[in-house]
Amino acid sequence: MLIQILKEYKNRTEYSILNNFYTCQIVSIYTLEKGTLIIPGILLNKMQKEEINILNAWLRHQDNQLILLPAWREVNLGEYFNTSVGIIVKKTEGSYHKIPLDYEIEAAVKEKVFFENGKTFGINYRNNLSSGLITVVTLPLLDYKMMDFEDEFKNCFSRFMQGKACTQEKFEKNNDKVDIDNVHVFLIILLAAGVQLDKDIASNIFKNFGAKIEEEILSLKYKELVRDQYINDKKLMDKGMKITVEKNLKAFINVIKERRENKDGWH
């Protein structure tokens, strides 16, 4: 996955430190490509309204990930992004695995990446099933004064990047015949949530994801997943489970499980 940093702020110290972990592409906010964008959270206050609007439009695409890292100031991210919950970064005194921290996150989200002693220091959030991923982290991963924790920080990065292919370490290319797309992902989510795929697949896809997909296409995608051993008739196989982890699908799966348990959730 492509990792991007903003040309407008390319000389910031955080971006210099980031290059120790990843090879990044410098882009203008007006020419963002599909992939991952990393921004120090403190820059949000310096960006123009037009630039924030561009970020929100970019985040409408499921494959995109915005990662917000220190430096921080106290902020309610709901003032900048389309969110259905409050995501507040505020000052604190705390630590994570002995790493000193100055900020924590208050947010009613299901996917907490870093937390300790009742405080949250990293989250993943999607506004809906088809939107991009917003990752908020207050660990000082790009602070040059914290380089004693470099090995720990490398592990932290690997936990919230939306694609293992973006790491600089040697990556074994996926030689699977099927190229996993959104339709494959929809089917994997449904099966992981306990929805059987032997009938009414199109109806279930539309009900849960708002996407109208022809039965022929769904049948083809289903057969591809079975053929390449991502799923069998009744459950996910190891490769399918791996997709749920790599694409951060746990929250989506839980939502559909809850809907099935509560019939009112379908209305």
| Residue 177 confidence (pLDDT) | 55
Is 41 domain-assigned?
Answer: yes
| Residue 179 confidence (pLDDT) | 75
| Residue 215 confidence (pLDDT) | 78
* Per-residue pLDDT tens over the stretch 103-135: 999 998 888 999 999 999 999 999 887 889 999
d(CA 106, CA 114): 12
| Residue 169 confidence (pLDDT) | 33
* Domain limits for position 212: 182-266
* Per-residue pLDDT tens over the stretch 59-96: 999 889 999 999 999 999 999 999 988 999 999 998 99
Is 177 domain-assigned?
Answer: no
Q: Is 95 helix (H, G, I), strand (E, B) or coil?
A: strand
Look at the chain and report how many structural domains it folds into: 2
Q: What is the DSSP letter of 3?
A: E
**pLDDT reading at 174 higher than 60:** no
Tell me, what amino acid is at 20?
N
Q: Is 25 left (phi over 0), alpha (psi -120 to 50) or beta?
A: beta
pTM: 0.63
Query: What percent of the chain has pLDDT above 90?
Result: 43
**pLDDT reading at 265 higher than 70:** no
248/264: higher pLDDT: 248
Are 137 and 231 in the same domain?
Answer: no
* β 75-76/99-107 pair status: unpaired
* Per-residue pLDDT tens over the stretch 136-166: 999 999 988 887 887 888 888 888 876 433 3
Q: Which of 228, 256, 259, 255 is nearest to 243 (CA)?
A: 228
| Residue 176 confidence (pLDDT) | 43
| Residue 58 confidence (pLDDT) | 94
Q: What is the DSSP letter of 46?
A: G
Are 161 and 187 in the same domain?
Answer: no
**pLDDT reading at 235 higher than 60:** yes
Q: What is the DSSP letter of 8?
A: G
Is 174 domain-assigned?
Answer: no
Averaged pLDDT for residues 187-197 = 90
Averaged pLDDT for residues 215-234 = 84
Are 26 and 153 in the same domain?
Answer: yes
Is 171 domain-assigned?
Answer: no
| Residue 110 confidence (pLDDT) | 83
Mean predicted lDDT score pLDDT of the chain: 85
d(CA 61, CA 131): 5
Q: In the sheet that 99-107 helps form, which strands lie side by side, from edge to edge? A: 75-76, 87-96, 99-107
d(CA 265, CA 80): 29
Q: Which of 106, 136, 166 is the last residue of a domain?
A: 166
| Residue 1 confidence (pLDDT) | 61
Are 195 and 102 in the same domain?
Answer: no
d(CA 155, CA 151): 7
Q: Which of 101, 131, 166 is the last residue of a domain?
A: 166
Contacts by residues 173-182 (CB-CB < 8 Å, ≥ 24 positions apart): 176/228, 176/239, 177/224, 177/227, 177/228, 178/224, 178/225, 178/227, 178/228, 178/230, 180/230, 180/243, 181/221, 182/62, 182/130, 182/211
DSSP for 123-152, written as a single string: EEEESSTTSPEEEEE-S-TT-GGGGGGHHH
